[in-house]
A and B are shown apart, each in its own frame.
Chain A
Amino acid sequence: MRIRIHHQTHYRYAERPSYLVQRLHLTPTNFDGQKTIDWKISTAGIENALSYVDGFGNLIHLVTAHNLPLENIVLAEGEVETKDTAGLVTGLISNVPDTVFLRQTLLTMPDASISAELMQWGDKASALATAHSLMGHLHETVAYEVGTTQTNSTAAEAFARRSGVCQDHSHLMVGMARSLGIPSRYVTGYLVTGAGASSVAAHAWAELLIPDLGWVGFDATNCQSPTEQYVRVAAGLDAMAVAPVKGSRRGGTEAEQMTVEVRVEIAQQ
């Protein structure tokens, strides 16, 4: 399947920034399940940006610009060819030892009530069975509801509310899996929901290391493993580590206004 993506982040500042530095995790990397056909990022300073692949296999851009106007747009767009791998993620270049993905972060760390919930998963079940039942359980008990959590909400906060968005589902999934001894990574990307359909937000899911299979994706929000409708962008320990855009600026103390617009469509062949 060919998927066309248009991911725009629009910033409006109260004062013109004299200097801006942004780190972007906005480029899909190739693996057996996907291949980038064309991809382009545009934003102030992109022509001289530093780009590099980190140890996790993510392609990062570090963009700097001086004396900006009152608005700045970060636009990533292009086309990616995908195929169904039944959720298996192979052929990805990553140098991270598996045990690093057992590390909890402030965003994934289970609190007492999540730990109590985890009691029902003993160590008898296989990792694969555990992964499926965790995914199903989160899908059923934590409602998808926009606006109940923020971008910096923790897994524990989402669990207390029993609601959240894909970021919260994924933090819960990786945090719980790590607690059960299954290495897990937080993954960002896009999901196209059907022929002719377009989705309006970037997506996130979890990847768990399953013995004998390798890394397998689990999307608790949709209760399925990624299909050819998924485009994978970046992976890390939590959402903060792989935020699509993270920046710091000089000039003006007021918070900027940000609007995000994502269009994901099945491309015309």
Chain B
Amino acid sequence: MSELFNEMGGGKGQTRPPYVDIEAWLKTISSTDVERAKREAENRFRRQGITFAVYGDDAATERLIPFDIIPRVFSALEWRRLSAGIEQRVRALNAFLHDIYHRQEIIRAGRIPHHIITQNAAFVPEMVGVNPARGIYAHIVGVDIVRVAENEFYVLEDNCRTPSGVSYMLEGREAMMHLFPDLFVQQRVAPVDNYPALLRKTLESVAPAGCMGEPTIVVLTPGIHNSAFFEHAFLADEMGVELCEGGDLFVSDGALYMRTTQAPQRVDVIYRRIDDAYLDPLSFKPDSAIGIPGLVDLYRAGRVTIVNAPGTGIADDKSIYTYIPDVIEFYTGEKPLLKNVPTWRCSEADSLSYVLDNLAELVVKEVHGSGGYGMLVGPTSSKQEIENFRAILKTNPSNYIAQPTLALSTVPTYTASGVAPRHVDLRPFVLSGDQVRITPGGLTRVALKEGSLVVNSSQGGGTKDTWVLED
């Protein structure tokens, strides 16, 4: 493994330019300052209700995600390069989704085998031939990116269904501006607080063609027990739109309505935060009690816009991931600006035997899993853990993909023993409607355990404010 890339120090003692002010600031603050700030930030998050639920954990269902007060910083130039790659990728993903649900040119051209698409559980046949407003399917995408060197970034995965975490990005920035206002005077940090306004603009821009006047938008949540309920309520509130559960909405005479204390109000755009399967018991899971019967028919007929569209999961499925570089070339005619992580498909015999021989060096993930569950991180696992996983992998190899363990970059982080490097990733949030809008920065997740590469909040990860410096 090559030397770890520390984003503050370039490795030879030289501080990287975007971090010069941060390094100076770190020298001026005492550990008591830090403790006080951390407590204040956490109190703030608790008051706001920013907690998350850990599945399969009986002891504490609601937890606070730890917040680290040392920001992660990108220069304006770094961000321009990165965001060009992100925009290229997201445009290609939307073009891919349109093609997959129409003529399937990419399959006809022999670039992707058809069974990977049409036999995929994430492919939704009801979407075939549907024409969503502006041809956009994935209006909100969270692209998970890691860095391994000065100019080397990799996309870990694309989240095209209902990516969450944007509320942590927004609240983290607000906490930092409140705790350390001077920092934002010294440096010009690109603002992120206009995200809800841009989200609203994006949603308005994809209202159905027949919608006259200002479109009515709602946020659809599965309810208070969902792990991201706080975020649903937060975004509805910030956008100034209603937060609804399925029972608040109904279909009548070919339109979607919301119950109100007065007359029912027509709804044009649903920003839904519930999974495809639960959206509409008439089209999908018949026993869904949180969906709206008839919604998908309205959508197919162009009477309402569902954001993100049903069936976008086919673009972020891990079995499709390995084809994304081809997808980008096919639809944009350009070389991908952002690289994929080299990936072995365990469904292929040669790959499987390589993976089985090298488990100790690899990360093995479920094709359909998420959130860091059911995976093996070879280098940090015991012999016994590796052997247990080997047995599971052999019983159902096509359920897994494997990747090398990347030497994720580190950013200085406050730990029990002072400031120390910890591994990070980045989830920028990309909005697609009348145009593509990328919030500068995004959510930086940090693996708080020394040496750990797993940044998921369910596995002991925290977050950091992410800065993009302005020129």
The chain A residues found within 8 Å of chain B, CB to CB, are 19, 21, 23, 45, 48-50, 52, 54-56, 60, 62, 64, 66, 95-97, 99-100, 102-104, 236-237, 241, 246-248
Cβ of B350: which chain A residues have Cβ within 8 Å of it? Answer: none
Cross-chain contact B301 with A97 (CB below 8 angstroms)? no
Residue from B104, B115, B129, B297 within 8 A of A55 (CB atoms): B129
Contacts of A99 in B (CB 8 A): 104, 107, 114-115, 117-118
- B119/A241 in contact, CB under 8 A: no
Among residues of B, the one whose C-beta sits closest to the C-beta of A248 is B293
Smallest CB-CB separation from A104: which chain B residue?
Answer: B119
Leading 7 A-B pairs by shortest Cβ distance: A55-B129, A50-B254, A248-B293, A52-B301, A48-B253, A99-B114, A95-B129
CB–CB A49/B254 < 8 A: yes
Binding site for A on B (CB under 8 A): 101-104, 107, 114-115, 117-119, 123, 125-130, 250-254, 281-282, 293-294, 297-298, 300-303
> Closest CB-CB distance, B447 to chain A, in whole Å?
39
Assess the A50–B282 pair: CB atoms within 8 A: no
User: In the complex, A66→B103 CA distance in Å?
Assistant: 40
What is the interface of chain B mostly: helix, strand, loop, or mixed? loop
- Of the candidates A55, A64, A102, A241, the one whose C-beta lies within 8 Å of that of B114 is A102
Q: Among A50, A236, A247, point to the contact of B297 (Cβ < 8 A).
A: A50
Question: Within the assembled complex, what's the spacing in Å between the Cα atoms of A246 and B283?
Answer: 9
Asked if residues A97 and B107 are in contact (CB atoms below 8 Å), the reply is: yes
Instruction: Say how far A32's CB is from chain B's closest CB, in angstroms.
Output: 21
Give, as a whole number of angstroms, the nearest-CB distance from B100 to chain A.
9
Q: Is there an interface contact between B103 and A97, defined as CB atoms closer than 8 Å?
A: yes
Measured in the bound complex, the distance between the Cα atoms of B118 and A52 in whole Å is: 24
Assess whether A64 is in contact with B251, with CB atoms less than 8 Å apart: yes
Taking the nearest CB of chain B, how far is it from the CB of A33, in angstroms?
Answer: 22
> CB distance B128 to A64 under 8 Å?
no
Report yes or no: A102 in contact with B301, Cβ–Cβ below 8 A. no
B117 closest partner in A (C-beta): A99
A55 x B253 contact (CB < 8 A): no
The verdict on A54 contacting B129 (CB below 8 Å), with A21-B293, A99-B118, A102-B119 known, is: yes
Which residues of chain B are within 8 angstroms of A103 by Cβ–Cβ distance? 118-119, 123, 125
B104 close to A97 (CB less than 8 A): yes
Q: In the bound complex, how far is the Cα of B255 from the Cα of A45, in angstroms?
A: 13
Taking the nearest CB of chain A, how far is it from the CB of B37, in angstroms? 51
- CB of A96 within 8 A of CB of B297, answer no
Residues of B within 8 A of A49 (CB): 253-254
Which of chain A's residues has its CB closest to B253's CB? A48
A-B contact pairs, 22 of them (CB 8 A): A19-B250, A21-B250, A21-B251, A21-B293, A48-B253, A50-B253, A50-B297, A54-B126, A54-B129, A55-B129, A55-B130, A56-B129, A64-B250, A96-B128, A97-B118, A99-B107, A99-B118, A237-B125, A241-B125, A247-B282, A248-B293, A248-B294
Q: Least Cβ distance of A134 to chain B in Å?
A: 21
9 further A-B contacts with Cβ under 8 Å, apart from A21-B294, A55-B300, are A21-B251, A23-B282, A55-B129, A56-B128, A62-B251, A96-B128, A96-B129, A99-B114, A100-B118
Q: Nearest Cβ distance between residue B135 and chain A, in whole angstroms?
A: 15
Shortest distance from the beta carbon of A57 to any chain B beta carbon, whole Å:
9
Q: Using Cβ atoms and an 8 Å threshold, which residues of chain B touch A96?
A: 128-129
Contacts of B300 in A (CB 8 A): 52, 54-55
For A64, give its contact among B102, B294, B302 (CB under 8 Å): B294
Task: Return chain A residues, CB-CB under 8 Å to B250.
Answer: 19, 21, 64
Q: Are B119 and A55 in contact (CB under 8 A)?
A: no
Cα separation A52 to B101 with both chains bound (whole Å): 18
Shortest Cβ gap from B358 to chain A (Å): 34
**Alpha-carbon separation in the docked complex, A62 to B294 (Å):** 7
B469–chain A nearest beta-carbon distance, Å = 47
Smallest Cβ distance from B98 to chain A, in angstroms? 13
Query: How far is A205 from B142 in the complex, measured between Cα atoms in Å?
Result: 44
